[in-house]
Structure 1
Amino acid sequence: MTDKQLIRGTMILTASIFISKFLGLIYIFPFTSIVGLEGLALYTYGYTPYTVILSLATLGIPLAVSKFVSKYNALGDYRTGQRLFKSGIVVMSITGVIGFILLYLLAEPIARHVLDPSNLQGNTIDDAVFTIRMVSVALLVVPIMSIIRGYFQGFQSMGPTAISQVIEQVIRIIFILLLTYLIMEVWQGELGTAVGFATFGAFVGALGGLAVLLVYWGRRRGNIQKQVEGSTIDHQIPLKKMYKELLSYALPISFVGLSIPLYQSIDLATFNPAMRVIGYEQVEIDKYFGAFMQAAHKLILIPVSVATAMSLTILPTVTKAFINRDSEQLQRHITQTYQIILFISIPASLGLVLLSDSAYASLFGLADMEIGAFMLKYYAPVAILFSIFAVTASLLQGINRQKYTVIALIAGISFKGIFNYPLILWLEAGGAVLATGIGYTIAIGVNIWAIGKFANYNYTFLLKRLLLFSIFALVMGLIVIAVRNVIGMVLPLETRFNAFVILICSVMSGLGIYLYLSVRSGLAGQILGHRFKFLSKRKVREGS
């Protein structure tokens, strides 16, 4: 495969990931309109343990398979990759079945721990058990689908993964919105039934994605077999040694992918019990939990996704500079990566803090706006930490120091696990946000230290730039507050339309002044000029 074809395939895969994530973000708005914050909480009671068990069932193996197959294909040994694939299908089938049985059996203990058995309002234990068991069925399909994607990617074929991901997400979202609407609005059904079928959408979407992969397999099986039969070498690696190598690739990947699910699992285990001790009723707890774990979380992931997507494209150049021992280029690329993430995430997070009420009201409605806006306001700054952790973890991977990401994650998770419950008792729902923020700060501290040590990176210039970003963001914030207050006097925050007008006008004003300051100072050209050439007309000298 030529470099041009490889770049094209990577772009297709990147586009599919972005589309899938975007769809995964926006469907939550109509879904919330149908089921409310209580429904979001119930959905999370099912989806959080599912995500963790899925990650444990696959252990990052699909991406590792891609790397393994690509390596041996490049050596002319297609048989080794095929042996791993055939064995991996069996292994993923077994781990999927084990994961399904485990989650199915744990459904009631999880539900009884999270929900109050004496509760007469809000979500019930039976609702949570039904929801968890409905989503558990997806574990029978998703691991198998993942390893097939990894095998195709090992041949540098990104199309099957890209198309199947988008189809999977589209089918899942259509199923969720259609079924919940019919059950709640047409058939006047129960909330627990609607949310249970919503989580079952993971299984239905996975079937759609698997069907796409099987079609591709049918078309390409002949060509793949010809390559296998034409192998110029056969390393004849024993399966035990093969899996040892595979796990060496997979474990760092799986730990990074587990970061957010692990933090959310701690909240699942401690949030409700702590809030009950404080004196909250279950129906109130469900609303806070739904706002925290779904509504606010989805909103803050928007700037996180944009920032990380723009910065992570630089990482291959980091790896190349590290391998070539080009210290000057390595320093430059690391600086550029950090600058992009901070340039985008700082103003975006500040904007969500200042416009939390209008953002929540315009996207989710006025129902329970106070709770939703409260959680969004305190959770929004954590978006900066999510972005930095993702990028620093990838930078460590680029310089082949993945183990420090694992150490960082363990340190952050340990803090969250120890202090989440007492912080909730002290600060109520805000305590869970604070525990997450401090946990990520600890993890980032380890990552930053490791990058400084092993890449010999000097943070002095970056700290100066951080001060400049903060000044521009502060000016932006003052403009946003002024615009928001002026429009609020004419259009009180009493309707969804008014909230939308306040949000749009405030965002456009804030974005305009931030970009103006960035372009006039030359900062935008320095940071994003390689992507948007018109910004390069004004540059500042790096390090000045």
Structure 2
Amino acid sequence: MSDTKLVRGTMLLTGATITSKLLGVLYIFPFTLLVGQQGNALYQYGYLPYTILLSLATLGVPMAVSKFVSKYNALDDYVTGQRLFRSGVVFMTITGFIAFLGLFIMAPVIAGWVLPSGDSSGNSHSDVVFTIRMVSFALLIIPGMAVFRGYFQGFQSMGPTAASQVIEQLARIIFILAAAFLVLEVFGGSLGLAVGLATFGALIGGLGSLSVLLYFWKKRKAGIQEQIRESKKDHQLPLSSMYKELIAYALPLSFVGLAIPLFQAIDLFTFNDAMTAGYGANAGQAETAFGAFSRTTHALIMIPVALATAMSVNLIPAITKANTNRDTESMHRLITKTFQIILFFTIPAAFGLTILATPAFASLYGLEDLGVGSMVLSYYAPAAILFSIFAVTAAILQGMNRQKYAVIGLCIGLFFKLVLNYWLISSFGAVGGVAATIIGYTLAIGFNIWAVGKFAAYQYTQIGKHAAVILGITAIMAVSVYIVREGGMVVFDTSGQTGFVAILVFGVLIGMLLYFILSIRTGMAEKVLGDRFSFSRLRR
């Protein structure tokens, strides 16, 4: 395969992944208007255990299968990859079925763990059980489907995975919003029924994705079979050896990819009890705060995270190549560029979101629960910087074949999150959960940064200087946005949603314009984005 085709396929897959993630964030806005914060809390009760079990059932299969198949295809052994594919589909389907049974049967127990104790002003036990069981059905097909994606990618064919990801997300979102709307607005059904059926969208999305993959398989099967018949070698590896090789690569990758869900799982099992028993909130208040923290505000801060990591993700394969070739100079240059991109985009976005928390939450989610939502968002927004840096440092360590250090860093962060979470929430409410997350991620990042510096012999002096400039520009921008916000609160009518929308629009536009101008004048835009943003060029 030509380098051009490989790059095009990688860009296609990256674009599809980012599109899928952004769609997965944006639909939460209308969904929240339908079900509210308690509905979001109920959705999370089912979806978080499902996400963790799905990752455990698949163990990073797509990328691991891709690497395995690509390796043996390069050795002119297409037979071994085919054997892995066939056995992998069966094996992953079995693990998915086991995961389904476990989640379906354990639903009443999990519901008891996550529901707040005390009064009955929150979601009912039966609603939580129904929600968990509805989402569990997706485990029947998605693990096996992951093998198809990995097999296609092993042939450097990214189109099937890209198309299936987008179709899966679209089908899921359409079903979620349609189910919630029909149950609540047309048939006058209960919130529990609406959210429970909405989580069944995971299975609908999986079926849509599988249909796309089967279409591509039918279309390309003859060509693949021809390559298998023309194989020059057959290593005749036993299945035990194949799976050992797969797991050794996939397990660390899967665990690191679970970073945010694992942090959220700690909140899932401690947040409500800490709010009711320690902080003194009733069940309804606890679930409202949990919905705002774990879903609606989290969705907002993931937007700059998705955009920033998308711009740096293509640098990671280059870091892998530089490490393989022992090209230290190139690797240092790429690490610097990666950090520059992440900091350049996430720092202003996070601080801007902190200042505009109230108009942002009101504009996107309405005025209901504005107090708790805007408060949580204002404290939680800086975590976008940490999420981005952790993802990038973990990817750099993976590119250097030091995956275990990324796992150690994550374990450190999870340990402190677990130790501190209940105490901080019971003392400070939802803000305590935010603080525990920020502390955990900060410690995990600290370890990752140390590991990158040690194994890449990398000095952070230059990054420190760039970060200082970005923080200085951001501070000026933040003051300006604060003035716009306070002025807007006086000028516009904030008794309705329209006034907040106007404040948000003006705040974002002025903040972006000022940051762009200052970054050009200081030369930071040129360092990060290239000489097309040079101040001297623009002045001419």
- The answer, yes or no, to whether TM exceeds 0.5 is yes
Q: Is the 8 A contact 1:303 1:348 kept in 2?
A: yes
AA of the residue aligned to 2:532 = F
Find the residue that maps to 1:87 and give its secondary structure.
helix
1:164-175 to structure 2, matched below 5 A, reads 164-175=164-175
Offset of residue 59 of structure 1: 1.0
State yes or no: 1:480 paired with 2:481.
yes
Q: Is the 8 A contact 1:358 1:493 kept in 2?
A: no
Offset of residue 494 of structure 1: 1.9
Q: Is the 8 A contact 1:350 1:477 kept in 2?
A: yes
| Residues 346-403 of structure 1: per-residue CA shift (max 9 Å, x gap) | 1100011000000000011111111110111111111100000000001111111111
Equivalent in the alignment of 1:418:
419
Flag the 1:245–1:122 CA change in 2: closer, same or farther, 3 A.
Answer: same
Offset of residue 116 of structure 1: 4.0
AA of the residue aligned to 1:272 = N
State yes or no: 1:305 paired with 2:306.
yes
1:27-38 to structure 2, matched below 5 A, reads 27-38=27-38
| Residues 73-128 of structure 1: per-residue CA shift (max 9 Å, x gap) | 01100000011111111110110000000001111111112214653322111110
| Residues 464-510 of structure 1: per-residue CA shift (max 9 Å, x gap) | 11111111000000000111111221103221111111001011111
> Aligned pair count?
536
Equivalent in the alignment of 2:354:
353
Whole-angstrom distance in 2 between the partners of 1:75 and 1:494: 68
Whole-angstrom distance in 2 between the partners of 1:443 and 1:305: 20
AA of the residue aligned to 1:452 = G
Equivalent in the alignment of 1:178:
178
1:348-387 to structure 2, matched below 5 A, reads 348-387=349-388
Identity percentage of aligned residues: 55
Flag the 1:14–1:76 CA change in 2: closer, same or farther, 3 A.
Answer: same
Equivalent in the alignment of 1:542:
none
| Residues 217-243 of structure 1: per-residue CA shift (max 9 Å, x gap) | 111111111111110111111111111
The answer for unaligned runs of 5 or more in structure 1 is: 540-544
Find the residue that maps to 1:516 and give its secondary structure.
helix
Whole-angstrom distance in 2 between the partners of 1:352 and 1:42: 26
Equivalent in the alignment of 2:258:
258
Whole-angstrom distance in 1 between the partners of 2:216 and 2:325: 38
Q: RMSD of the alignment, in Å?
A: 1.1
- Select between 330-339 and 289-298 the one with higher mean Cα deviation: 330-339
Offset of residue 20 of structure 1: 0.7
The answer for unaligned runs of 5 or more in structure 2 is: none
Whole-angstrom distance in 2 between the partners of 1:207 and 1:312: 28
- Select between 311-320 and 367-376 the one with higher mean Cα deviation: 311-320
State yes or no: 1:4 paired with 2:9.
no
| Residues 12-51 of structure 1: per-residue CA shift (max 9 Å, x gap) | 1111111111111110000000000010000000000000
Equivalent in the alignment of 2:429:
428
- Select between 393-402 and 296-305 the one with higher mean Cα deviation: 393-402
Whole-angstrom distance in 2 between the partners of 1:379 and 1:218: 47
Offset of residue 536 of structure 1: 4.1
Whole-angstrom distance in 1 between the partners of 2:464 and 2:249: 34
**1:535 equivalent among 529, 533, 536:** 533
1:35-46 to structure 2, matched below 5 A, reads 35-46=35-46
Whole-angstrom distance in 2 between the partners of 1:222 and 1:412: 48
| Residues 503-534 of structure 1: per-residue CA shift (max 9 Å, x gap) | 010111111111101001111011111xxx52
Whole-angstrom distance in 2 between the partners of 1:80 and 1:223: 16
AA of the residue aligned to 1:250 = A
Q: Is the 8 A contact 2:16 2:166 kept in 1?
A: yes
Q: Is the 8 A contact 2:48 2:264 kept in 1?
A: yes
Whole-angstrom distance in 2 between the partners of 1:346 and 1:77: 48
TM-score by length of 1: 0.97
Equivalent in the alignment of 1:512:
513
Q: Is the 8 A contact 1:346 1:469 kept in 2?
A: yes
Whole-angstrom distance in 2 between the partners of 1:330 and 1:221: 39
TM-score by length of 2: 0.98
AA of the residue aligned to 2:332 = Q
Equivalent in the alignment of 2:496:
495
Q: Is the 8 A contact 1:13 1:159 kept in 2?
A: yes
AA of the residue aligned to 1:379 = Y
Whole-angstrom distance in 2 between the partners of 1:237 and 1:47: 38
State yes or no: 1:213 paired with 2:225.
no
Q: Is the 8 A contact 2:421 2:436 kept in 1?
A: yes
Q: Is the 8 A contact 2:117 2:276 kept in 1?
A: no
Equivalent in the alignment of 1:526:
527
Q: Is the 8 A contact 2:363 2:498 kept in 1?
A: yes
Whole-angstrom distance in 2 between the partners of 1:449 and 1:144: 38
Find the residue that maps to 1:494 and give its secondary structure.
coil
1:184-333 to structure 2, matched below 5 A, reads 184-277=184-277, 278-333=279-334
